[in-house]
Structure 1
Amino acid sequence: MTSTTTSSPAPADLVLRDARIHTVDPALPAAEALAVRDGRIVWLGADADAGRWTGEGTRVLDGRGRLVLPGFIDAHNHVRLGSDDACVQLAGAGTLDEIHARIRAWHAAHPGAEWIEAEAFDYSAIPGGRMPHATDLDPATGDTPAFVLSYDVHTAWLNTAALRGLGIDRDHTELPFGQAQTDPETGEPTGFVKDFAVKGLSRDGHRALRDLGVPWASPDRQYGRLAKSLDDAIGYGITTVVEPQNSLDDLALFERARAEGRLRSRIVAALFHPRGTSEADLDDFAAAAERFADDRLRVGPLKLYIDDVVEPRTAALLEPYAGCGHHRGETFYPADEFADLLAELDGRGFQCFVHATGDRGIRTVLDAVEHARSVNGPRDARHQVVHVECLDPRDTPRFAELGVVACMQPRHCAPEIAGPGKDWAENVGAGRWHKAWPMRSLHEAGAVLALSSDWNVAEMDPMAGIYTALTRRPLGGGEPWQPGETLDVETAVHGYTMGSAYANFLEDERGSLTVGKLADFVVLSRDILRIRPQDIPGTRAEVVVVGGETVVDEEAVVGDESVVGEEASGRAAV
């Protein structure tokens, strides 16, 4: 076994010995030991040589033959939204009756609550394939206003009392936090609000909700969600989190977490660019990127939307939704306008994360990147298409050709979430299932895959994502869906490490265990590179090291084969 080093042996701060290190670095794919000094890796090699790096004051970590990987980099994780303990949890509630039962139980336990708030409702729980109405909530909530978020946080569901309390009526449906849907016959608001992710999660939308007295939007509740999610992230071995959608106001939450010692994972925070963002806003974004630019908290990329989501039929498709006449969804910008916008942002040097789920939405983004390159000239921009749920095969090679990263979430394509019988698969129709999350096709075409959780739309645990990427089977086992698009385990691990590092301009510092890089790594309870895919779920991060400091160790992990955190039982909220 060869080794690499930055200097002649001298006592290191930390030495990891007797490990099976998968470095994700082709120059030295495997090692048995490594040494750390001043937060960075200074040596990797054979265990027999590790003693030369050990001296007085050196901490020695016994790997006990376990698998060691680079710390996971979750390229799209809404830690700031998180999962809210003050909300009724509706994940797994498959019927309206079950939703009612959970809300009634919560309300009985909190009889003085001024608001009933819930998260993670699944569209498929509403009978008849329709979107929910206020009258569906009223029997369980009575006169207490109710604010319920869908699992993807792209829509909100209000009861009659909330419509009244928030001032929503037939003359007031354009809201700071979304678009209230109306009954086509009466013109009255139904209680269903779309575009919540685009408007309600913006600075103005959040302020409006807070000013209207919705507790979910209060700063203390926001910080509670962030702190809990950060604890879960480090427990899973996620040493870098990319938080994809923040306003300038939200950055204070990360500063507080850092001051209080809760920022154990490194953060990359993207700033939200809603429609109407001004030149002055862009100047403020650029100033924030200069202010927050260290290896613990970095600000810089911009988050945009071109379409919405498939489940409520608001993603932009090339052909109409199955059984919906001529309806094929809309883009938030006309194609030419979006192309000019992206060219402007690209010209100012911004990296853009663009939410796109439908095949027409994705094509619109790729066309815009092509336009930006023609206007500004090619540059290493690494713009991302985020989600890539329904991709036309003609657009697959364009990712590599244009240098566009595919930021994807393997759990989204699990059969129990999006497969046959679920709203995603039924709305798209069987004739387009071959377009669903084509991870293998993109990889084979040379695209960079940055894999992620999209917590709390799905489980944060990378083991759940890796398992799904390998099998496209339900988490509890069962038949695969579109198994031709599975990945091998090395490719999936690369997507959660070096792929996500590259996607965020971090490849010189993170993503592999390489001499000179930050000493961020995880020791796993099972060797996921060798075990059967069905045995990957439940694998724990027994030791987590960030910058050479052990932030999680075995004694901090509860349970034999449990998964850290409470969200791993199924598709969670946002």
Structure 2
Amino acid sequence: MSPIPDLIVVNGNLLTFDKSKPAAQALAASGGVITAVGTTADIRALASSKTKIIDAAGGTVLPGFIDSHVHLFGGAAELDMLDLRDVRGFDALNAAIRAYAAGRPDDPLIMGVSADYDIIGAGHVTTRHDLDRILPDRPVALMAADHHTVWANTIALEQAGILHGGYVPEGSEIVMAKDGTAQGQLNETGAFGPVLSLSILGGRDLLGYVTGADPEPPATAKEREFDKEVLLRGLNHCASHGITGLHNMDGNFYQLDLLSELEGEGRLPARVQVPMHLKNYDPLDRLAEADEMRRQFKSDKVWSGRVKMFMDGVLDSYTALMLKPYPGKPKSTGDAVFEADHFNEACIRADAMGLQISVHAIGDGAVRRTLDGYEAARKVNGVRDSRHRVEHIELIDPQDIPRLAALGAVASLQPLHSPEGGLFEPYDVDDILTESQIPFAFAWRKIRESGAKTCFSTDWPVVPVDVMMTVAGAVQGTQLPAPWADNRQNLEATLSSYTRDNAWVEFNEHRKGLLKQGYMADIAIMDRDLMNTSAEQLANAQAITTICGGEVTFTR
């Protein structure tokens, strides 16, 4: 006999992802667990006077969305920064920065985000002098949408101590002008970290991304409370989009501590996995920290057990690692963050510890080197259900597509990164990509059809964390001319990639990702029946109620 439910949802179109009962109208939950799934009449009969009743009004009810690739602290912080996603041209940039700065007279760094590489004009490389023309007497920094390039003005470079260059780790670059000073463009975290440390957050929001270390000196009690509220604002923003789970892609003990404090205070609206971030310059003995994170943090809402690494940069700055030179930069194949032997050993050791691995790999050279590392770990340690992940795969060599399934590797993909998703322009042929490479760029359909496990996510704040924007990008997309391939796929498979499949990726398929008796009551209720919504309208769909662990975390 089912217990009297704390909460029931009725009059819904349930998309359960449970093969034994794929559709239903209602569900009941008690103690944070789904206790019954069935008709509205049957579920209503279980309620008492104390049961909370939510009427879905015909909207789709499905497992809570799990965004399996986000940068939580950075995304949360950027909610309060200058959004430049739609800004083009010097005059528009000038007006936006000046207006934003005027409203923030005490901010130590004026920070713009989601800046286009051609924000001032097509073919114009942004320099510190451009930004000096706008605001010469206050530090200014613009973060590219891909979060791999920053442009800073002169005073920001001076205060960061890098106007005349400086040491950067392999894979990062302070672009220098002919006069021996920094030109203003900073490629990768090792170069722009000192500038971002000037911000109101002191760079703490990016420590898990830039270095994987905790704040040094340690954050004060006031700073901790400030940072915790920033995180909470970001988590509530995620909950407003039906998200009940997040896989963070940067991490340190500091973030885990703050999230655990929120959980202890009963204020954590979503479940969050946080990895240990291993940098290329770290001794491999630092993997012991990953084991310690796994040991210390293992609740249903805050946990670790994963190692994150970077293999390369991004296509737009020619820093993604390629198998062949860039057509538009014929002397370069990009930048390898890890050398092959070093990376293989890191994979072998992390895999031997039973840790999951996720690696940022954009270019086809980075994807191959990542798969080589996973193969090396299998040869040394034997085959196990590791579910190691390859993040992004924006270009893959056709020979490597079958290797994903053969090695049990997971393709962790972001449909809105693709120009087919509609947010970014397609690359010109024979600049970054050749005509023969383009059919294998952002090729999630080829990857899925190969039998490889796939999961979808946003990479927030690279693109908005709004789940339905990504869903629409995968289902509807923007049809591009040849040689671009058509990657569009059906809605149910896309929604599965955001729910059931992402629960599988985190080894929680036995208790999460389905609307099924005994599973966690993590639920998203949408404002319409998604399965009867036109592809053109999918992006406009919204979550009207989000439930995590049986508790309502958002109501529109």
The 3 A distance-change label for structure 1 pair 103 and 470 is: same
Of 391, 396, 420, the residue aligned with 2:396 is 391
- 1:544 is displaced (CA, Å) by 1.4
Of 149, 162, 166, the residue aligned with 2:156 is 162
Return the alpha-carbon distance in structure 1 between the equivalents of residues 497 and 212 of structure 2.
36
- 1:108 is displaced (CA, Å) by 3.3
- 1:445 is displaced (CA, Å) by 1.3
The 3 A distance-change label for structure 1 pair 149 and 211 is: farther
Return the alpha-carbon distance in structure 1 between the equivalents of residues 162 and 342 of structure 2.
31
Q: What's the counterpart of residue 103 of structure 1?
A: 97
Of 24, 42, 48, the residue aligned with 2:35 is 42
Return the alpha-carbon distance in structure 2 between the equivalents of residues 349 and 322 of structure 1.
41
Contact kept in structure 2, 1:173 and 1:189, CA below 8 Å:
no
Residue 34 of structure 1 aligns with an amino acid whose one-letter code is L
Residue 496 of structure 2 aligns with an amino acid whose one-letter code is H
- 1:56 is displaced (CA, Å) by 4.6
Return the alpha-carbon distance in structure 2 between the equivalents of residues 21 and 205 of structure 1.
41
Residue 524 of structure 2 aligns with an amino acid whose one-letter code is V
Of 456, 465, 472, the residue aligned with 2:461 is 456
The 3 A distance-change label for structure 1 pair 171 and 312 is: closer
- 1:389 is displaced (CA, Å) by 0.9
Residue 40 of structure 1 aligns with an amino acid whose one-letter code is V
Q: What's the counterpart of residue 486 of structure 2?
A: 484
Q: What's the counterpart of residue 524 of structure 1?
A: 526
Q: What's the counterpart of residue 124 of structure 1?
A: 118
Q: What's the counterpart of residue 153 of structure 1?
A: 147
Q: Provide the alpha-carbon RMSD of the alignment.
A: 2.8
- 1:239 is displaced (CA, Å) by 0.5
Q: What's the counterpart of residue 91 of structure 1?
A: 85
Deviates most, 227-236 or 78-87: 78-87
Of 374, 377, 386, the residue aligned with 1:372 is 377
User: Equivalences for 1:118-517 in 2 at 5 Å?
Assistant: 118-127=112-121, 129=123, 131-170=125-164, 172-174=166-168, 179-183=173-177, 185-196=178-189, 200=193, 201-202=206-207, 222-278=227-283, 280-415=285-420, 416-420=422-426, 426-473=431-478, 482=484, 484-517=486-519
- 1:350 is displaced (CA, Å) by 1.2
- 1:14 is displaced (CA, Å) by 2.2
**SS state at 2:35 partner:** strand
The 3 A distance-change label for structure 1 pair 414 and 425 is: farther
Contact kept in structure 2, 1:469 and 1:487, CA below 8 Å:
yes
Residue 48 of structure 2 aligns with an amino acid whose one-letter code is G
**SS state at 1:125 partner:** coil
Contact kept in structure 2, 1:145 and 1:158, CA below 8 Å:
yes
The 3 A distance-change label for structure 1 pair 175 and 105 is: farther
Deviates most, 527-536 or 59-68: 59-68
Contact kept in structure 1, 2:322 and 2:363, CA below 8 Å:
yes
The 3 A distance-change label for structure 1 pair 423 and 194 is: farther
Return the alpha-carbon distance in structure 2 between the equivalents of residues 208 and 267 of structure 1.
19
Contact kept in structure 2, 1:419 and 1:481, CA below 8 Å:
no
Residue 316 of structure 1 aligns with an amino acid whose one-letter code is L
**SS state at 2:258 partner:** helix
Q: What's the counterpart of residue 568 of structure 1?
A: none
Contact kept in structure 2, 1:418 and 1:424, CA below 8 Å:
no
Residue 51 of structure 2 aligns with an amino acid whose one-letter code is T
Unaligned runs of 5+ in 2: 194-205, 218-222
Residue 409 of structure 2 aligns with an amino acid whose one-letter code is V
- 1:250 is displaced (CA, Å) by 2.4
Structure 2 residue 12 is matched with structure 1 residue 19: yes
The 3 A distance-change label for structure 1 pair 521 and 355 is: same
**% identity of equivalent residues:** 29
Q: What's the counterpart of residue 200 of structure 2?
A: none
Q: TM-score, structure 2 length as denominator? A: 0.89
**SS state at 1:103 partner:** helix
**SS state at 1:513 partner:** coil
The 3 A distance-change label for structure 1 pair 315 and 169 is: same
The 3 A distance-change label for structure 1 pair 334 and 11 is: same
Q: What's the counterpart of residue 569 of structure 1?
A: none
Q: After superposition, give the CA deviation of every residue in 1:46-86 in whole Å (9 maximum; x if it has no partner).
A: 33422442335333332333211110000011121114355
Q: After superposition, give the CA deviation of every residue in 1:337-392 in whole Å (9 maximum; x if it has no partner).
A: 21222111111111111000101110111111111101110011100000111112
Return the alpha-carbon distance in structure 2 between the equivalents of residues 73 and 313 of structure 1.
31
- 1:188 is displaced (CA, Å) by 2.6
The 3 A distance-change label for structure 1 pair 448 and 207 is: closer
The 3 A distance-change label for structure 1 pair 394 and 222 is: farther
Q: What's the counterpart of residue 199 of structure 2?
A: none
Return the alpha-carbon distance in structure 1 between the equivalents of residues 394 and 190 of structure 2.
17
The 3 A distance-change label for structure 1 pair 18 and 203 is: closer
Residue 101 of structure 2 aligns with an amino acid whose one-letter code is H
Unaligned runs of 5+ in 1: 1-7, 213-217, 558-574
**SS state at 2:118 partner:** helix
- 1:330 is displaced (CA, Å) by 2.0
Q: After superposition, give the CA deviation of every residue in 1:447-497 in whole Å (9 maximum; x if it has no partner).
A: 1111111111001111100100012229xxx98994521111011001000
Contact kept in structure 2, 1:473 and 1:480, CA below 8 Å:
no
Q: After superposition, give the CA deviation of every residue in 1:78-118 in whole Å (9 maximum; x if it has no partner).
A: 12111435533222112233222211222333445443222
Of 520, 537, 540, the residue aligned with 1:538 is 540
Contact kept in structure 1, 2:59 and 2:530, CA below 8 Å:
no
Contact kept in structure 2, 1:177 and 1:205, CA below 8 Å:
no
- 1:551 is displaced (CA, Å) by 2.3
Residue 243 of structure 1 aligns with an amino acid whose one-letter code is N
